Amino acid sequence: MQQTGNESPKSNGGQTSKPLEVAIIGGGIVGLILAAGLTRQNIKFSIYEQARNFRELGAGIGFTRNTVQCMEMINPDIVTALRNAGSVNISLDKGDPNAYFRWIDGYTEHKKDDPSWQKVLCVLNAGPKGWEIVRRDHFLENLVKLVPEGSVHLRHRVDHIEQPDDDGKVELTFSDGNTAYADAVFACDGIKSRTRRIMLGDEHPASFPQYTHKVAYRTLVPMKDVLPLLGEYKTMRHHMHVGPNAHLIHYPVNSTLVGATVVVTDPNDWSVDQPNLLRVTRDEVEKAFANWCKPVQDLVSLFPQELDQWALFDMFEYPVPQYNFDRICLAGDAAHASSPHHGAGASMGVEDILCLSTLLRKIIAPISNGDLNKSHALKEAFSIYNGIRQPRTRWMVNSSRRACDLYQQPEWADPQKREKAESCFEELTDRSFKIWDFDAKAMVEETEQEAMERILAPPASLTNGTVPSEGPKVVSSATSKNAVPVPSHLEQKAVATIPLNETPQVVEKEPQPVEKKADSAHSTSSAEEKPLAQAHDQRSRSPLINRLSIKSARAWLHRRSVDGARVGSSF
Among the listed residues 68, 30, 55, 67, the one whose alpha carbon sits nearest the alpha carbon of residue 190: 30
Provide φ and ψ at 120, rounded to 5°.
Answer: -80, 125
218 is catalytic: yes
What DSSP letter does each residue of 324-361 carry, written as one string?
Answer: EETTEEE-THHHH---STTS-HHHHHHHHHHHHHHHHH
- 237 DSSP 8-state letter: S
Which residues are within 8 A (CB) of 189 and not within 5 positions of it... i.e. 6 or more apart? 25, 26, 28, 31, 50, 158, 195, 196, 334
Question: Are the C-beta atoms of 62 and 343 separated by less than 8 Å?
Answer: yes
Catalytic one of 218, 392, 401, 431: 218
SS3 537: helix
Please state, in angstroms and rounded to a whole number, the distance separating the CA atoms of residues 490 and 510.
45
Whether the Cβ atoms of residue 161 and residue 199 lie closer than 8 Å to each other = yes
CB 275 within 8 A of CB 156: no
CB atoms within 10 A of CB 427: 20
153 strand-pairing partners: 48
Q: Give CA–CA dist 355/344, Å, rounded.
A: 17
**Residue 190 Ramachandran class (φ > 0 left, ψ -120 to 50 alpha, else beta):** left
Kindly give the pairing relationship between strand 306-314 and strand 277-281: antiparallel
Active site residue 251: yes
Q: What is the DSSP letter of 3?
A: B
Catalytic residue among 251, 323, 385, 407: 251
Q: Is 119 exposed, middle or buried (0-12, 13-18, 19+ CB in 10 A)?
A: middle
For 139-186, give the DSSP string.
HHHHHHTTSPTT-EEES--EEEEEE-SSSSPEEEEETTS-EEEESEEE
Alpha-carbon gap, residue 148 to 335, rounded angstroms: 26
* 437 three-state secondary structure: coil
Q: Rounded CA gap, 136 and 130, in Å?
A: 18
* C-alpha–C-alpha distance, residues 540 and 275, integer Å: 44
Quote the longest CA-to-CA distance of the chain: 82
Q: Where are the alpha helices (DSSP H) in 266-311?
A: 283-288, 294-300
Residues noted as catalytic: 218, 251
